[in-house]
Chains A and B, each alone.
Chain A
Amino acid sequence: MKKEFRRRPKEKNTDSLDKLPPFDQLQALLQQGAITCEDIVDRCLHNIAQGAYLNAFLRVYAEEAKQQAATIDQMCQTNNLPELAGMVVGLKDLLCYKDHPVQAASKILRGFVSQFSATAVQRLVDKHAIIVGHQNCDQFGMGSSNEASAFGPVRNALDTTRVPGGSSGGSAVAVQAHMCHVSLGTDTGGSVRQPAAFCGLVGLKPTYARISRHGLIAYASSFDTIGILSRTIQTCATVLEIIAGPDDFDSTVSHRPVPVYTAQLHFDKRAKVAYFPVALEHPGLQPAIRKQTQATLDTLLRAGHQVEAVDFPLLEYALPTYYVLVNAEASANLARFDGVRYGYRSSESITVADMYQKTRTQGFGQEVQRRILTGTFVLSADYYEAWYVKAQQVRRLIKEKLEMIFATYDFIVLPTTPTTAFKIGAYTQDPLAMYLADLYTVPASIAGIPSISIPNGTDENGLPIGLQVMAPAFGEAQLLAFAQYLTLLL
């Protein structure tokens, strides 16, 4: 089952890639007949094959993609293109796609075939986006480096000795290496924004409940969101306005109207921007990232925006709060994997109790088991009040503090990650050091607010740096417009 990992080529291998034309200009090209959709899909498949050593895709649906491309090429002649015609999309292995396997990159869901499509996926398919395959990730989204996958680690296409970030690492590398235009990932504590930063992409985590979670394999239900990885903010906005909004299959999804984000990408206000000195002075922050973030803040100030330092002493409590709560929710959510109804079942068991234990122990990866056990600990009778309830109280403090900041400011700007992409294997023995990679991304997840990571230069090794912008709940329209403005400004 475990995919053998190919030895990495010594030289960087991104030159042999057939670059994809950006989706924003693609439809015009298709209609002019300058390019065909079949050609686009062929390029994607070529890049997937060329980049197999990156380990970004777990399953590729090549024939289906080619067929759909042929259909779209026929539509081009009628001059009436559906909104997403020509867009090639990859799915993180946590999103269900009808009649296709999905496995959460874990052994425990071996052989599972989805009976329905996730609402977000279905909405893309309805607009004729082409689903090209399922992408590697950390098992159940639990990890920050994409090393905790049952299918081996994913490699960063810019430097194959380094991680792409996680947990949506395969999804980020797929966009980075021109294997698809867009990836749908999931972001529970930074799993879309952090890989976007490590791979030099745009990564959006929308407001909690903006996009239906139906068909997303649950990790921590009060944190999970579907996120978008793309090259441009325009593409990200195009996808968001299609997949967001009410859904009969998710009772928690918001019924607020979905704005036409692509029509509101122009930002001409004077922005009130807050930043946290406590984040910039953190001892774990790489100096190059500090310098780059500071430079961006200075640029904003010079461009006439209001940029002010704001106290956020709760930052150091965000990570522990996050891990207590997500582990608790994970221990409950992952109870459903018992070997009875689907997925892997241990063949060694004689009794049913034995079957549960052996199936779960053999099926779940090490990090998943660690999180289930920690979650069980904080939820157990003797510790519930002191750990779980305490973390819920701190969650409220953090959420209210951020809301208070947004009463005065439009955006909060901070780095996406404390370091740029680190070496594969650097933290696999030390879970706590690994958790630190999410330091700056968890506050938005705790508060359920939207947050985007955009490229902000590179460090001394040429590795991409991410800049994170957070906005108040349901402020995606302003957030995307401001991010677009920043991209042009930087």
Chain B
Amino acid sequence: MNCLICVTYLRARSVGSTQLWWSLRCVFPDLMGYKGDGGVYTRTKLLVMKIGRPLLQKLAQLAQLEVDVHNEPILLEDLNKIVDWAEKLKELDTTGVNPLVTMASEYNIFQEDTPQAPLAHAKALANAPSRDSNYFRVPKVKE
């Protein structure tokens, strides 16, 4: 029985079938949830879906990426697993701890403000996928 589920599950993952994947999740949530425990991963607990489809699409839009129907189930599962695993940080009490925002240990290092030759136009444009005289060329911005 387990084998059959595993095979169906892997198949659902590999073909990226949203429907099959979701129905499997509903029927066998225990088997499909991962829970990280100090690095040992067992499929014992139900995975809490913190990131749903609308949020995933929103994130993709913010990151300027496209997530199509084919990739959605795999990404949802992976992202939720990662987020669920990183949730471990919440066990630690960090009240009053100043966030570490920079690794720099030296401050106010100045240097002389001397003009230097800029990158020549031709060089700056040399790597552009499309260019037009002195400009980068892009598809139209307005509809």
What residues of chain A have their CB less than 8 Å away from a CB belonging to chain B?
Answer: 111-113, 115, 208-209, 222-223, 248, 251-252, 254-256, 282-284, 316-317, 319-321, 323-324, 331, 335, 338-345, 349-352, 354-358, 360-361, 364, 369-370, 372-377, 380, 386-387, 389-397, 399, 418, 429-433, 436, 439, 448, 473
B106 at the interface (CB under 8 A from A): yes
B51 at the interface (CB under 8 A from A): yes
* 22 residue pairs bridging A and B, Cβ less than 8 Å apart: A111-B127, A115-B119, A222-B102, A254-B106, A283-B38, A323-B86, A324-B86, A342-B129, A351-B139, A360-B64, A369-B75, A370-B78, A372-B65, A374-B79, A376-B59, A377-B55, A386-B90, A387-B89, A389-B99, A390-B89, A393-B97, A393-B99
Assembled-state Cα–Cα distance A95/B79 (Å): 30
Name the 10 nearest CB pairs between A and B, nearest first.
A392-B99, A342-B127, A345-B129, A393-B94, A396-B100, A320-B86, A393-B97, A361-B66, A284-B39, A356-B64
CB-based nearest A residue for B56: A373
Least Cβ distance of A245 to chain B in Å? 13
B134 at the interface (CB under 8 A from A): no
Contact A399 B100 (CB under 8 A): yes
Tell which of B34, B36, B63 touches A372, judged by Cβ atoms closer than 8 Å. Answer: B63
Least Cβ distance of B50 to chain A in Å? 9
Interface string of B121-133 (1 = CB under 8 A from A): 0011011111000
**Which residues of the partner chain A approach B38 to less than 8 Å between Cβ atoms?**
282-284, 316
**Which residues of the partner chain B approach A254 to less than 8 Å between Cβ atoms?**
105-106
Known contacts A361-B65, A390-B90; A209/B136 CB under 8 A: no
**Which residues of the partner chain B approach A376 to less than 8 Å between Cβ atoms?**
59, 62-63
Interface string of B62-100 (1 = CB under 8 A from A): 111110000000010011011101111111101001111
Least Cβ distance of A455 to chain B in Å? 24
CB-based nearest A residue for B104: A252
The bracket for how many chain B residues form the interface is 35 or more
Least Cβ distance of B56 to chain A in Å? 7
Tell which of A112, A283, A397, A431 touches B78, judged by Cβ atoms closer than 8 Å. Answer: A431
B4 at the interface (CB under 8 A from A): no
**Which residues of the partner chain B approach A392 to less than 8 Å between Cβ atoms?**
99-101
Tell which of A317, A344, A430 touches B89, judged by Cβ atoms closer than 8 Å. Answer: A317
Most buried by A among B78, B88, B90: B78
**Which residues of the partner chain B approach A344 to less than 8 Å between Cβ atoms?**
129
Contact B79 A373 (CB under 8 A): yes
Least Cβ distance of A433 to chain B in Å? 6
Contact A349 B139 (CB under 8 A): yes
**Which residues of the partner chain B approach A349 to less than 8 Å between Cβ atoms?**
139
CB-based nearest B residue for A208: B103
Contact A339 B129 (CB under 8 A): yes
Known contacts A357-B64, A390-B94, A397-B97; A283/B40 CB under 8 A: yes
CB-based nearest A residue for B130: A345
B23 at the interface (CB under 8 A from A): no
Contact B126 A113 (CB under 8 A): yes
CB-based nearest A residue for B88: A320
Interface string of B27-57 (1 = CB under 8 A from A): 0000000101011110000000001000110
Least Cβ distance of B99 to chain A in Å? 4
Tell which of B60, B88, B89 touches A373, judged by Cβ atoms closer than 8 Å. Answer: B60
Assembled-state Cα–Cα distance A433/B140 (Å): 44
**Which residues of the partner chain B approach A335 to less than 8 Å between Cβ atoms?**
64
**Which residues of the partner chain B approach A352 to less than 8 Å between Cβ atoms?**
138-141
**Which residues of the partner chain B approach A223 to less than 8 Å between Cβ atoms?**
103
Q: Which B residues from 112 to 126 make CB contacts under 8 A with A?
A: 119, 123-124, 126
CB-based nearest A residue for B98: A396
Assembled-state Cα–Cα distance A358/B64 (Å): 8
Least Cβ distance of B41 to chain A in Å? 6
Assembled-state Cα–Cα distance A252/B108 (Å): 10
Contact B59 A373 (CB under 8 A): yes
Contact B89 A391 (CB under 8 A): yes
Least Cβ distance of A330 to chain B in Å? 10
Tell which of A252, A343, A350, A360 touches B65, judged by Cβ atoms closer than 8 Å. Answer: A360
Assembled-state Cα–Cα distance A282/B37 (Å): 11
